[in-house]
Amino acid sequence: QQQVKQSPQSLIVQKGGISIINCAYENTAFDYFPWYQQFPGKGPALLIAIRPDVSEKKEGRFTISFNKSAKQFSLHIMDSQPGDSATYFCAALGNQGGKLIFGQGTELSVKP
């Protein structure tokens, strides 16, 4: 019940294409859902986050779509660039704060 399931494990996209990464959760006490981007040798960097009271949030080329009834959320990267090549993690935080529960990660490769 504490898990966050992420897919796909890896993704290859052509430059200019749309990258889509999906996550699903079970625990309805989760109410904050951030996405992190991680480059090799670096820590996870916060990319964008959403709360379940909105269905979509957009920041630049990055959009989170949220389906509360299905307990699923996804990250869309529009106009993907080679510099977006990294590992992406979804995560969930409970309504009391505290620990983040991370998905397993998606290794994205954007081909020029």
Residues that bind another protein (CB under 8 A): 6, 31-32, 34, 36, 41-46, 49, 51, 89, 91, 93-105
Q: How far is the CB of 99 from another protein (least distance, A)?
A: 4
Name the phi and psi angles at 82, rounded to 5. Answer: -55, -35
**Residue 105: CB minimum distance to another protein, A:** 5
Residue among 37 and 63 whose Cβ is closer to another protein: 37
Contact (CB, 8 A) for 8 and 21? yes
Which residue, 15 or 99, has its beta carbon nearer to another protein?
A: 99
In whole angstroms, the minimum distance from the beta carbon of 41 to another protein comes to: 7
β pairing state of 72-77 and 4-7: unpaired
Closer residue to another protein, CB minimum distance, 80 or 103? 103
Closest to 30 measured CA to CA, from 103, 88, 97, 90: 97
Coil, strand or helix: which one is 84? helix
Indicate the helix (H) or strand (E) that contains 37.
strand 30-38
CB of 12 to another protein, least distance (A): 17
